[in-house]
Structure 1
């Protein structure tokens, strides 16, 4: 840890950016979640899990990889997958190469609901994010955020 006496305080612009980023990280997921739950039988988090499974090879991922990709703890992912399993949107099975690991697999019902929920998610993201970034260089913003949290 660096000696606090040698650190430079944040500039007003840096402080403003950090505070705005914190607000976005806190408020955006709640706003999208509210929109999803108003129109769909799944939350934004559940939608994100289905989306990542739909993009994975054979529509399946190890639970630990899925948790990491979605920014959840393994126990948090287990709770989400349990809810999705109870709706027959995902099934869980042991990994064939490692009996200790579990895979989450997207079902055909999961695909159907993902396609049904996509317009709601898209409209929410457009309304809460992109409608407010008109005139901004989205590609540059994406690159800057990628430097903070590489994929």
Structure 2
């Protein structure tokens, strides 16, 4: 027996319309199907929310390991002079890497009869050195406590977006 949801009259199991009030009686299949759809939608929504939360957590400001070590050094009140020495050493390693890349591409024989290629390689190398200098200047400003951590990270991320694309 199935009760009518409008007047509570008991009707036969296969009734489509209430014998008493004439209202339509929803079948059990329809309500079970509707419940399944609702549960699936809730599950999908929950999954999307979970993915969004993971994305937000993992897409926070990403800084290099070296920059993270600078942040930790400043937080630990390491002297600006010591931090600046580390910064200069790190920048020098980056400059040496850029020089090695430039030398390798220029000595590859492609520039022998192609002055345009040589000019482009030199321009790329100069852009890379300028970029390294900008990063170093920002790091030094942070080491000297001229800017706070939040500003350092924001400006660093902006600089990361300016990083020149190189052929080496």
- Shorter-chain TM-score: which interval? under 0.3
Q: Which has the higher strand share?
A: 1
Q: Which structure has the larger Rg over C-alpha atoms? A: 2
Instruction: Report the TM-score when normalising by structure 2.
Output: 0.23
